[in-house]
Amino acid sequence: MFEAILLTVATAATPLLIAALGELVVERSGVLNLGVEGMMVMGAVAGFAVAQTTGSAWLGMFAAILAGAAFSLLFGFFTLTLITNQVATGLALTLLGLGASAMIGESFVGLPGVKMESLYIPVLTDLPYVGKFLFGQDPIFYISILLAIGVVWFLFKTRAGLTLRAVGDNHTSAHALGVPVVRIRYLAVLFGGACAGLAGGQLSLVYVPQWVENMTAGRGWIALALVVFASWRPWRIVAGAYLFGAVSIGQLHAQALGIGIPSQFMSSLPYLATIIVLVLISRNKRLTLMNTPTSLGKPFVPDR
């Protein structure tokens, strides 16, 4: 029972973790992309469609990454090249993604999916209690952990990461020093979109190997909230993702045990927890402003 709960929590937390890490890099560059939900759902439908057509879950996952990245480039073109409002463009991108995915996925509703198989390492996977959790997960779980390590290393241990953070903190000064602000932000947005697409692919190829309209069910918004919850720190995002993953799975187990609480209320718990956390954080102005990129959401127009 304990091992099963650990496995389900990890599976539920993985898409939140991947999408939030991608958005963290985007926001560290000074760009606010509210289109995470739209990119995730496009990744989910593209991944399922390609996997169902080719029979390969890996090809499906690659298609999911490409779909998320392509959608993010659309966002980048409008906000970084045409200098449109980032908030409005992100919201429009989410609405477009939800509508487009429903249209694309209409013919795939009810079809059997292609599930990405979990790893099996003799002896290690069979260890009691933690064997399957540590050595028997799906490959995307391990990719999410490596991604978290990579984002920490990139942001705080590399010159490129320092440059990206400098762009997010003060794009005018960075531009004056010759830093290609727009190019760096395009790369950050592209990375964020690829992560969102990967998170969506995990939903339709690992978490629930099928296509259901609007199957992201608000996870993109939770990923956005996680970035604020973590005060723009990668390791706090890992903790937050698993916390919200535990809340999501907890409500399912509560329903399975027949606890006399309306199922609608239990299903709302992850989103209720998100609101409560954001309210608590907003009360602490110092914590909110401590790591917030100064140029976040501000348009940049090069003067030369």
CATH topology of domain 2-116+135-290: ABC transporter involved in vitamin B12 uptake, BtuC (1.10.3470)
pTM: 0.92
For residue 81, the 8-state DSSP code is I
Q: Please check whether residue 108 is in contact with residue 122, taking contact to mean a CB–CB distance below 8 angstroms.
A: no
Place of tokens 């959790």: 133
Query: Rounded to whole angstroms, how far apart are CA atoms 75 and 64?
Result: 17
- pLDDT at site 252: 66
- For residue 192, give the 3-state DSSP assignment: helix
- pLDDT at site 257: 62
- pLDDT at site 266: 65
Q: Please check whether residue 28 is in contact with residue 168, taking contact to mean a CB–CB distance below 8 angstroms.
A: yes
- Distance from first CA to last CA of the chain, Å, rounded? 62
Query: Rounded to whole angstroms, how far apart are CA atoms 10 and 137?
Result: 9
Which residues are CB-neighbours of 129 under 8 A, at least 6 positions away? 2, 3
Query: Rounded to whole angstroms, how far apart are CA atoms 96 and 105?
Result: 14
The DSSP secondary structure of 240-273, one letter per residue, reads: HHHHHHHHHHHHHHHHHTT-SS-HHHHHHHHHHH
Mean pLDDT by 10 residues, the chain (304 residues): 78 95 96 96 96 94 97 96 95 96 92 88 81 88 96 96 95 92 97 97 93 91 90 90 83 63 68 76 68 89 71
User: What residue ranges do the domains of the chain occupy?
Assistant: 2-116+135-290
Report which of 61, 215, 91, 241 is spatially closest to residue 151, judged by C-alpha positions.
241
